[in-house]
Structure 1
Amino acid sequence: MYLLFPGRHQLLTNFQFNYLYRIIQAGLSQETDANGQLLGNDFGPIDAIIFAVTSANHSHTRRNPLPFHLRVLQLEDFSDDLPVPAYMYGIDEVGVLENFADYTIKRIRHESDGMFDLTPQNTVVVCSTPVMNMYEKLDFRVLPAELLDRQTQQFVTGLPWDLVEYIAKAGDAWLTDRYVLEHMHPASYSLWKKYKLGEKVQMLFRDRIISDDGDITTTRDYNSYVRQMDDIAELKFKETAPYIRPGRIGDIGCAVGSWIRLACQQDLLHESDFYGIEVARHLFDICQQRKHNGEFGNPFVFFAQKNAVTGLVYEKNSMHTINTSSLTHEIESYGSREDLLTFIRNRYEELATGGIWINRDVVGPDNPDEEVVLVLTKEDGRNDDWEREITNRDELSAYLQGLSTYARFLRFARDFRHKENEALHYELLSTEEHKSNLQLSLRNAMEFLLKKDYTDNWQSEMHEKFCFWTYADWEKEMSKAGFSILPQSHAYQNDWIVKNRFTGKAELFSKTTDGLKPLDFPVTHMLFLAEKRIL
């Protein structure tokens, strides 16, 4: 007979050990299942316990802070004093799967090379969460562990995850906290202490930017996002390549690793080490797969899933080049101004003397508060039905693409930063058959023009601010952090965007006593080169 114990197993408790020890020693006959029914004499003595470690491919997130190998280490230590052998098998996260229990059983059979073919006749499941329903559908009997009453969801003691959350709030005192010491099994305690996992969990839980599963936003279509990143990777690399300094090279917000892949092909950087940092789990997984496929050529390419806002991601004074592209505006958008300032200071700390931070991103116009007239065409789509609520991403994208530029502005003005309670102010001056005239700040005009074509990820883009700082603002804040700004730094207008997305769709004018005066479109992007010099 086997005991199957599925779970993420981020932390193990004394209750779990005592519960398993008692069952193994005393047998199953006097145990009651999750429905209060005695198991009786249908099952023989326990020969082994099998830990199914779910979400094995996830780590460094609030939901799964520990990587699989550390979870296995603590399970091995935990099991040493159990009177039967224990086996650990990783079960990858596969999204919402109604037959996840069946998937788990099949994975264990596969990973064990057929040594364990678990059936309701030879296995009893240990589970205190609603996951038990899946196993019961397969006719497995389930031992409830901490669960006291299935209907009221009462527990005889706290669940392991409750203890994780407790440690997340306990601060530095968690190592000597009486509640922790009474409930946390020594195998977990020693591992968490050795690898400073309490501090890691606390960092992840106080992180306001990333979601529980390690993403900045949960509304982004990563398939289209990855395609976009790869499509423009070469352009970004060519713009930044002349300024890369050999040695330890980091790419923060590395997406799918395209910039690093191109850098690895440069003879000048052949002896360099590359360190990609990506907070979004989907993109980090792709980076790891690309490395496994040998796409980078250089064996000294390393990826980590970390958040560069909360703290340092590289050792102090260690990096010769740090690259960021289209990242800093996301910190301002999903976090706060203080988060962005912290991010800037962290990069200064990480650079070695003489090191360079290359930051390529969108930027606001030089005179963002100037009131301008924005003239938008009504001839390139529908001008009504712009307020329809659509939750499906693909349907919403198709719907938005059918709107005219003017109607899309109306939708934008309603949706932009709405969840953040930030209203976009504008005035409709006039509307004609073919166009409409709006008065608004140049900053808000450019926010719309730069985002209006991102219909694939509209819900995500509506959170993001592009024009919060001018180039002069960047110069001031970077200098405050200690950086020296290289003269090659500059703001510029992306000619392709102007030609393909602005021209024929929108015009800008200033109001003068003589009427409307045409305005050129302002700068849209910047290349910022910040060096850490000897003071």
Structure 2
Amino acid sequence: MYLLIPGRHHLLTQFQFDYLLGIINNPLQSTLDINGSPIQEASKIEAIIFAVTSANHCNTRRNPLPFYIRALAIEEFGKQLSSPCFIYGIDDVGNVKNFASYTIKRIKHESENQFNLTPENTLVVCSTPVLNMYQQEGFRILPAELKDGTTFQLSHTMPWEVVEGIAVTPDWEENFNAQTLMHAASYNIWKKYKLGTKVQGLFRDQMISDDGDITTTRDYNSYVRQMDEIAVLKFQETAPYIKAGRVGDIGCAVGSWIKLACNDERLRESDFYGIEVARALFDICQQRKHNGEFKNPFVFFSQRNAVTGLVFDRNSMNTIHTSSLTHEIESYGSRADLLSFIQNRYDELAPGGVWINRDVVGPENKDRIVLMKLTETDGRNNDFDKTFTKREDLAAYLQGLSTSARFQRFALDFRKKEKYTLSYEHVTIQDENYIRLSLRDACEFMSRKDYTDNWESEMHETFCFWDFNEWKQHLTTVGFRIAEPSQAYTNEWIVKNRLLNKVSLFTDDAARKPIDYPVTNMLMLAVRE
């Protein structure tokens, strides 16, 4: 008879050990299943099988520890049991109804048919709702910490509750009853690898979701395609200012900028470090490295958050590159997060090192009131407020709206979750229709109106919170020197392809003078002296 223990297994408790030891050392007939009935088997436990789920995930609140760390603790844990323990990693495959069946098949495959687990030869130890999946497959359940299978009332502390306790207890080794609750195998691994500090950092981070993403409404297929399409442009714009040595790309997406930098002969002796917080993108970076797509072998990727702390050693980096990132920190985090991010980059740079920041930027005098004229002949002008459950349906609907109607939808959706109110009014002057609003809000619309594929995600983001001079002020306050040719500029491709004959700006006075399209982007070169 086998025992199967499915779970993420970031921590093992003393109760788990005692429970398993009791099953192993006593006749199975004395073991009660989830219904309170004794197991009617005379055989002994031949092996204990740990199915470590989400084995391909780490560095998130939900899955803080990598698989190898979890396996180390389980291996030490198992050495003290009288039945052999086997460990198999089960990758996350999303929410599937037959995950139990998938796990069983994965174990059979990974064990090369050594373990063909069936309801006749396996008991499942589980105290979470996952047990329902195994019951549907016909397996008998041993409840462990579970007191009541109907209400899921517990009799003992769950391993994840211990993790959560450590996450909010700075000196957890002394001020939390960890040693009482944790099995020594887990306690020693957590202490040796300083996992408490790691977990506390992840749980402090309110900007990133439990599964390690900045937003849950982004279509990464279209996002990756867009990033790759403009990668050459981004590299060409920043390449002259890269200083060889230790080169970091924070928010590296799928590693396209680093890939191009690896082909630059000037940087052949450099080491490259890509930092990406979004798990979906980090996985692609790793895959591209495995595929041998980077000419320089000294390329390293990490899934980390550069807001909550340093991602490089102090005074160590010659170049730090960021592109289209800082506005996301302001949008999904807070102003304090952005200021922390700026300070962290200063602290990481070696003297003479440069932070190359390429991003969107707000216009000067952004609070001035302007008139905005929008075309009404390039699509529908009604039903702009329909709702959809599928991203693809929403995108198709938005693409059918006129520029004027799309603004109406934008005004409804823009930073609604953040409780932002876009103030505007319709005005008619000499039979011409205008929108009266701030230049900032006009630029927010102009910069976002064509992002229909990721509309829901883009509606969380603000591009125009600081103008170029405000950026310079905050950087110099930290200690940076702003180097030439730092500049704010208007992206002519955007003007030609998205704004001409669609949107026009005018002064809000009797003259109604045309206003040039404001700046859209900036290249900021911040040097640490």
TM-score for both structures, normalised by structure 1 = 0.97
Query: Structure 1 residue aligned with 2:478, among 472, 481, 486?
Result: 481
SS in structure 2 at match of 1:456: coil
Query: Residue 524 of structure 1: CA displacement?
Result: 0.4
1:184 paired with 2:182, answer yes
1:456 paired with 2:434, answer no
1:106 paired with 2:97, answer no
Distance in 2 of aligned mates of 1:377 and 1:36: 71
Query: Structure 2 residue aligned with 1:503, among 496, 500, 503?
Result: 500
| AA partner of residue 185 (structure 2) | A
Query: Residue 462 of structure 1: CA displacement?
Result: 0.6
Aligned to 1:322: 320
Distance in 2 of aligned mates of 1:252 and 1:46: 50
SS in structure 2 at match of 1:455: coil
Distance in 2 of aligned mates of 1:195 and 1:27: 38
Distance in 1 of aligned mates of 2:487 and 2:449: 25
Cα 1:408/1:86, change in 2 over 3 Å = same
1:255 paired with 2:253, answer yes
Query: Residue 202 of structure 1: CA displacement?
Result: 0.9
| AA partner of residue 163 (structure 2) | V
Aligned to 1:10: 10
SS in structure 1 at match of 2:419: coil
Give the 5 Å matches for 1:134-283: 134-171=133-170, 173-283=171-281
Distance in 2 of aligned mates of 1:431 and 1:162: 64
Give the 5 Å matches for 1:24-173: 24-41=24-41, 44-171=43-170, 173=171
Deviations 1:462-486 (A, max 9, x none): 1100000000000000001111110
Query: Residue 178 of structure 1: CA displacement?
Result: 4.7
* RMSD of Structure 2 on Structure 1 (CA): 1.2
Q: Are the equivalent residues in 2 in contact too, given 1:100–1:134 (CA < 8 A)?
A: yes
| AA partner of residue 368 (structure 2) | E
Distance in 2 of aligned mates of 1:138 and 1:432: 73
| AA partner of residue 145 (structure 1) | A
Aligned to 2:523: 527
SS in structure 1 at match of 2:168: helix
Query: Residue 184 of structure 1: CA displacement?
Result: 1.0
| AA partner of residue 459 (structure 2) | M
Query: Structure 1 residue aligned with 2:340, among 322, 339, 342?
Result: 342
Distance in 2 of aligned mates of 1:309 and 1:240: 23
Deviations 1:302-336 (A, max 9, x none): 10000000000000011110000000000000111
Distance in 1 of aligned mates of 2:290 and 2:216: 26
| AA partner of residue 179 (structure 2) | L
Distance in 1 of aligned mates of 2:30 and 2:217: 49
Distance in 1 of aligned mates of 2:295 and 2:21: 50
| AA partner of residue 446 (structure 1) | C
Distance in 2 of aligned mates of 1:440 and 1:343: 31
Aligned to 2:463: 466
Deviations 1:311-362 (A, max 9, x none): 0000001111000000000000011111100000000000011111000000
Task: Give the number of aligned pairs.
Answer: 529
Q: Are the equivalent residues in 2 in contact too, given 1:378–1:436 (CA < 8 A)?
A: no
Distance in 2 of aligned mates of 1:177 and 1:431: 70
Distance in 2 of aligned mates of 1:184 and 1:27: 26
Distance in 2 of aligned mates of 1:34 and 1:298: 56
Distance in 2 of aligned mates of 1:440 and 1:37: 71
SS in structure 2 at match of 1:170: coil
Q: Are the equivalent residues in 1 in contact too, given 2:67–2:89 (CA < 8 A)?
A: yes
Q: Are the equivalent residues in 2 in contact too, given 1:406–1:436 (CA < 8 A)?
A: no
1:22 paired with 2:18, answer no
Structure 1 residue runs of 4 or more that deviate by more than 6 Å after TM superposition: none
SS in structure 1 at match of 2:177: helix
SS in structure 2 at match of 1:50: strand
Q: Are the equivalent residues in 1 in contact too, given 2:373–2:504 (CA < 8 A)?
A: yes
Q: Are the equivalent residues in 2 in contact too, given 1:246–1:269 (CA < 8 A)?
A: yes
Deviations 1:503-529 (A, max 9, x none): 01010000234x210110011000000
Distance in 2 of aligned mates of 1:523 and 1:474: 14
Q: Are the equivalent residues in 2 in contact too, given 1:31–1:38 (CA < 8 A)?
A: yes
Query: Residue 40 of structure 1: CA displacement?
Result: 1.7
Deviations 1:256-289 (A, max 9, x none): 0000000001111111111000000000000000
Deviations 1:60-89 (A, max 9, x none): 000000000100001111111000111111
TM-score for both structures, normalised by structure 2 = 0.99
Q: Are the equivalent residues in 2 in contact too, given 1:510–1:516 (CA < 8 A)?
A: yes
Distance in 1 of aligned mates of 2:508 and 2:417: 32
SS in structure 2 at match of 1:49: strand
Query: Residue 432 of structure 1: CA displacement?
Result: 10
Q: Are the equivalent residues in 2 in contact too, given 1:332–1:339 (CA < 8 A)?
A: yes
Q: Are the equivalent residues in 1 in contact too, given 2:324–2:359 (CA < 8 A)?
A: yes
Q: Are the equivalent residues in 1 in contact too, given 2:169–2:176 (CA < 8 A)?
A: no
SS in structure 1 at match of 2:48: strand
Q: Are the equivalent residues in 2 in contact too, given 1:377–1:436 (CA < 8 A)?
A: no
Distance in 1 of aligned mates of 2:132 and 2:430: 61
SS in structure 2 at match of 1:496: helix
Query: Residue 9 of structure 1: CA displacement?
Result: 0.3
Query: Residue 399 of structure 1: CA displacement?
Result: 0.7
Distance in 2 of aligned mates of 1:359 and 1:476: 15
SS in structure 2 at match of 1:23: helix
SS in structure 2 at match of 1:88: strand
Q: Are the equivalent residues in 2 in contact too, given 1:30–1:40 (CA < 8 A)?
A: no
| AA partner of residue 230 (structure 1) | D
Give the 5 Å matches for 1:303-382: 303-382=301-380
Deviations 1:96-148 (A, max 9, x none): 11111111111111111111111111111111111111111111111111000
Query: Residue 232 of structure 1: CA displacement?
Result: 0.6
Query: Residue 422 of structure 1: CA displacement?
Result: 1.0
| AA partner of residue 76 (structure 1) | E
Aligned to 2:410: 412
Distance in 1 of aligned mates of 2:309 and 2:321: 17
| AA partner of residue 167 (structure 1) | I
Query: Residue 188 of structure 1: CA displacement?
Result: 1.0
Distance in 1 of aligned mates of 2:179 and 2:409: 55
| AA partner of residue 170 (structure 1) | T
SS in structure 2 at match of 1:69: helix
| AA partner of residue 193 (structure 1) | K
Q: Are the equivalent residues in 1 in contact too, given 2:166–2:176 (CA < 8 A)?
A: no
| AA partner of residue 50 (structure 1) | I
What percentage of residue pairs aligned between the two structures are identical? 63
Q: Are the equivalent residues in 2 in contact too, given 1:27–1:46 (CA < 8 A)?
A: no
Distance in 2 of aligned mates of 1:34 and 1:482: 63
1:440 paired with 2:437, answer yes
Distance in 2 of aligned mates of 1:529 and 1:152: 58
